[in-house]
Chains A and B, each alone.
Chain A
Amino acid sequence: MTKNVYFSVKKQLRLFAQLWVIVLLFAVSKANADWQLNMREGVTEISRAVYDLHMVIFWICVAIAVVVFGVMLFSVIYHRKSRGAKAHNFHENVFVEIAWTVIPMVILIGMAIPATGTLIKMYDSRESDLDIQITGYQWKWRYQYLESGVDFFSSLATPMAQIKGEEPKGEHYLLEVDNPLVIPVGKKIRFLITANDVIHSWWVPDFAVKKDAIPGFINESWTVVEEPGIYRGQCAELCGKDHGFMPIVVEVKSQPDYDAWVKQQQLAQLEKAKSAEKRWSLDELMTTGEAVYLKSCAACHQASGEGIPGAFPALKGSAIVQGDPAAHIDIVLNGKPGTAMQAFIDQLSAVELAAVITYERNAWGDSLGDIISPSQIAKLQQ
């Protein structure tokens, strides 16, 4: 080949490299939310460290790719038979082989050092200001504040009609919950993560916190969030039918707002306990019961009470629902070990439990007419 050809080769290679860089720069720009291409930097020191690691390793990969694919493309263009290229029969070169073993090793060591530093920081959950136990349930999260005793469940708030396409989808479709986790800004929060049934995984991308929630284990993770705001995440481990429908929403508040919120929660819990003492009519219980049923039971037993054959038993016409109330109360409160039937004794209030059992016994034309009173359940809960 003449010098001229080589010159144009160089030129073309440079052009090609420039093209790559443009494409990749486009790939990492975050101009449009709907076309978000890259990882979020997040709002914690750790999440930014993770983002930096991600970008460094990404650019290392890009650099290697440009070299390797560049040589390859060069050969594909210039060393083709149709251009009259003759094969040079060289092979086996110990020096080259050692070089391309040692150089990647060095790059890898360079990469391992910052990664190790970040990992050590992520594992240091000591000296927390606030401890929150997070428990994964099929298909909702429970948040228990160990210091203040606040305890509630958090489940998907997106209405079924939006999911089924009967209504237009809202801005935070599938990323909205009824009761978000609330934490104070600038404090070290330690999460104690576990699960009640199958394995879930608690993930908030903006905190770079992802930890599996495993029954029988308590995993630790922590975060210090620097800016108040609302942050959204999702369950990241396949946990059954509604795995895609158990989002996480974290509201980060200033310390005074957070304190006020804790007070209000504690009051509301007292309020709830009191309402169990009141006398409830069948109609009142049926209305409350239907709401509770749709939220806590219908995912498996279906709104019609007919269940899913082979997977979840029907309640409509079932022997337990139509039989002795004591057996019915027992299975709802304590669950059925070894099956997907959870124990609801801690999940729902006395009123909610009484209402939902009453509802099950009277809905779907089974009308037994019996009332399960909240006070009766409250006794069992103690």
Chain B
Amino acid sequence: MSTTTEQITETSKADTEHHHGPAKGMSRWFFTTNHKDIGTMYLWFSLAMFMTGGCMALMVRAELFQPGLQFIEPDFFNQMTTMHGLIMVFGAVMPAFVGLANWMIPMMIGAPDMALPRLNNWSFWILPFAFSIMLMTLFMDGGGPNFGWTFYAPLSTTFAPPSVTYFIFAVHMMGISSIMGAINVIVTILNMRAPGMIMMKLPLFVWTWLITAFLLILVMPILAGLVTMMLMDIHFSTSFFSAAGGGDPVLFQHIFWFFGHPEVYIMILPAFGIVSEIIPTFARKKLFGYSSMVYATSSIAFLSFIVWAHHMFTVGIPLMGELFFMFATMLIAVPTGVKVFNWVATMFRGSMTFETPMLFSIAFVVLFSIGGFSGLMLAIAPADFQYHDTYFVVAHFHYVLVPGSVFSIMAGVYYWLPKWTGNYYDERMGKIHFWLSFVGINITFFPMHFVGLAGMPRRVPDYALQFADFNAISSVGAFLFGFSQLLFIYNVVSCIRKRNQASNRVWEGSHGLEWTLTSPPPYHSFTTPPKVD
């Protein structure tokens, strides 16, 4: 195998010299159809949104540092929580995964580029416009969306600020972008694999993304339908969600969560993939159960479509419905458990080293599991009556999204950065970034379990005195986590600029086609397909 891959690297090098490289100046970025350029833009965009959404979270935490209203008014507080959620979900986490998919999928399956390069350009360039529209609403009369990222009707229709129409338009644009991105991923994976790269040899990151892409195609149109129904209610006198006109506010929640629950897995399945790449590399040992990982991912994807009403245990669905959704939700613990057990079994009797990507991955496994445990608790419907819409839920989903999705993205960036740039990042600074983030998020989110159980509802700008101490601690943690991300940015930027030549393998234990390319890889990844045996 090694001789073949070396030859291939040589040929791809030769090919780049003959081929055109990137265009000069700004037009490179506007008109590019190159998967790496587009991936880079996705990642920078995601970082910008991560910092924007982060600033909003810090405003929320500043207000909640003490009881009473200190800095911002309740209505603006609601706008901040809403925008923080929308931006982190649609602007930070999802584009970051698409960026990683763009960079890595062609390189991992032995393709020169994505299958649909022009579509690729378009799906990225929609995003800056969509988010400009969304952020613009903050400066309009009546302010931006203030109805929570779940935008339940009728608060988001009859009782919404006038800017809600812009919000609807922005969501439509994000949906178009996601659907096109997903189509591109599916077409690329199904058609552009190198000879010998059968499905059951695909790297797990590619597998999880393939399943994620199907989820995206299935649910983004539902979200589009939902916001269109809102638009009709607001401007064209329909009453889909207005009881006064014979409509049904609960219908909104059913549709939203039929989109929303698979959406949650859209934000975690690629994370599973990234971690499944990184742990074997640094444990210097094959992933324990490759095929069971694939089956577990598929089961999670299937289950995600039949559990949506566990977000709605308190809306008054009939007993039988409540029981069905409780059982189905508990079932998710099984394939998720299989994944965690597989990662642990991979580490067991390995030969581990703890570079920054591995640190983030280990933290992912532990802290995501904690989020999984609180998820299992939330699945118990009678207990959910106490947990629902409290800070316990806030703690739960931040544990799966921050040390879950966000840590996996950071792990992936550290892991592949030397491949992308051809330079090693500063390992010491990476480790400091990890430890500050790890301590920061735990200080922020762990106390939220306590205040939630003690009875603090979510989405409130002010709270009773008994919650004061833990809220103060949470706020301190949030600022620590937020500011430690500046280290990450500094490390990435200096890694791009400095010269600290990385080898082609980059890591001692790395496996897979992407490591057979040069660091940085040629502009068109594999111009002649490698042979996989």
Binding site for B on A (CB under 8 A): 27, 33-40, 49-50, 53-54, 57-58, 61, 64-65, 68-69, 71-72, 74-76, 79-82, 85-93, 96-97, 100-101, 104-105, 108, 111-112, 115-116, 118-120, 122-123, 138, 162-165, 169, 171-175, 197-199, 201, 203, 205, 208-212, 214-217, 219-220, 233-245, 308-311, 337-340
Do A175 and B464 touch across chains, with their CB atoms under 8 A apart?
yes
B454 at the interface (CB under 8 A from A): yes
B78 at the interface (CB under 8 A from A): yes
B487 at the interface (CB under 8 A from A): no
B468 CB → nearest A CB, Å = 7
9 residue pairs, one from A and one from B, having the closest CB atoms: A216-B243, A310-B141, A310-B142, A244-B460, A219-B316, A61-B373, A236-B389, A36-B454, A88-B349
CA distance A89 to B291 in the complex (A): 16
Contacts A199-B249, A214-B249: A108 and B316 contacting too (C-beta < 8 A)? no
Contact with A along B437-480 (1 / 0, CB 8 A): 00000000000001001110111111111101110000000000
Q: Which of B249, B285, B354, B470 contacts A216 (CB 8 A)?
A: B249
CA distance A337 to B326 in the complex (A): 38
Q: Which of B250, B354, B462 contacts A244 (CB 8 A)?
A: B462
Do B75 and A91 touch across chains, with their CB atoms under 8 A apart?
no
CA distance A68 to B347 in the complex (A): 12
Do B347 and A72 touch across chains, with their CB atoms under 8 A apart?
yes
Do B244 and A86 touch across chains, with their CB atoms under 8 A apart?
no
Do B466 and A33 touch across chains, with their CB atoms under 8 A apart?
yes
Do A68 and B340 touch across chains, with their CB atoms under 8 A apart?
yes
Do A81 and B351 touch across chains, with their CB atoms under 8 A apart?
yes
Contacts A65-B373, A208-B385, A209-B385: A87 and B285 contacting too (C-beta < 8 A)? yes
What B residues does A105 contact at CB under 8 A? 334
What is the chain B residue whose CB lies nearest that of A88?
B349
B259 CB → nearest A CB, Å = 18
Q: Which of A81, A120, A203, A208 contacts B352 (CB 8 A)?
A: A81
- The count of residues in chain B whose C-beta lies closer than 8 Å to any C-beta of chain A is 100
What is the chain A residue whose CB lies nearest that of B389?
A236
What B residues does A76 contact at CB under 8 A? 347, 352, 362
CA distance A171 to B389 in the complex (A): 24
- Interface segment, one of B48-56, B375-383, B409-417: B375-383
What is the chain B residue whose CB lies nearest that of A244?
B460
Among B338, B350, B383, residue most surrounded by chain A Cβ atoms (within 10 Å): B383
Do A210 and B468 touch across chains, with their CB atoms under 8 A apart?
no
Do A339 and B249 touch across chains, with their CB atoms under 8 A apart?
no
What A residues does B351 contact at CB under 8 A? 79-81, 85-87
Q: Which of B67, B326, B376, B464 contacts A119 (CB 8 A)?
A: B326
A338 CB → nearest B CB, Å = 6
What B residues does A162 contact at CB under 8 A? 68
CA distance A305 to B146 in the complex (A): 22
Do B457 and A118 touch across chains, with their CB atoms under 8 A apart?
no
CA distance A328 to B342 in the complex (A): 69
CA distance A164 to B152 in the complex (A): 29
B97 at the interface (CB under 8 A from A): no
What is the chain B residue whose CB lies nearest that of A309?
B141
CA distance A174 to B460 in the complex (A): 11
Do A112 and B327 touch across chains, with their CB atoms under 8 A apart?
yes
Query: Which residues from 325 to 353 on chain B have a C-beta closer than 8 Å to any C-beta of chain A?
Result: 326-327, 330-331, 333-334, 337-338, 340-341, 344-353
Do A108 and B333 touch across chains, with their CB atoms under 8 A apart?
yes
Q: Which of B158, B163, B319, B366 contacts A72 (CB 8 A)?
A: B366
What A residues does B334 contact at CB under 8 A? 101, 104-105, 108
Do B366 and A311 touch across chains, with their CB atoms under 8 A apart?
no
Do B319 and A91 touch across chains, with their CB atoms under 8 A apart?
no
B289 at the interface (CB under 8 A from A): yes
Do B161 and A199 touch across chains, with their CB atoms under 8 A apart?
no
What A residues does B386 contact at CB under 8 A? 39, 50, 54, 205, 208, 210
Q: Which of B74, B148, B289 contacts A91 (CB 8 A)?
A: B289
What is the chain B residue whose CB lies nearest that of A118?
B382
Contacts A57-B377, A214-B315, A219-B316: A68 and B464 contacting too (C-beta < 8 A)? no
Do B382 and A79 touch across chains, with their CB atoms under 8 A apart?
no
CA distance A60 to B380 in the complex (A): 13
Q: Which of B162, B353, B369, B457 contacts A80 (CB 8 A)?
A: B353
What A residues does B349 contact at CB under 8 A? 75, 79, 85, 87-88, 90
What A residues does B158 contact at CB under 8 A? 198, 338-340
Do A122 and B382 touch across chains, with their CB atoms under 8 A apart?
yes
Contacts A91-B290, A311-B142: A203 and B457 contacting too (C-beta < 8 A)? yes
B70 at the interface (CB under 8 A from A): yes
Contacts A37-B450, A164-B68, A198-B154: A81 and B284 contacting too (C-beta < 8 A)? yes
Contacts A208-B386, A238-B147, A245-B462: A311 and B75 contacting too (C-beta < 8 A)? yes
Do B457 and A79 touch across chains, with their CB atoms under 8 A apart?
no
What is the chain B residue whose CB lies nearest that of A70?
B344
What A residues does B198 contact at CB under 8 A? none
B50 CB → nearest A CB, Å = 24
What A residues does B159 contact at CB under 8 A? 138, 197-198, 240, 339-340
B114 CB → nearest A CB, Å = 31
CA distance A244 to B244 in the complex (A): 26
What B residues does A171 contact at CB under 8 A? 465
Do B142 and A308 touch across chains, with their CB atoms under 8 A apart?
yes
B199 at the interface (CB under 8 A from A): no
Do B243 and A85 touch across chains, with their CB atoms under 8 A apart?
no
Do B377 and A243 touch across chains, with their CB atoms under 8 A apart?
no
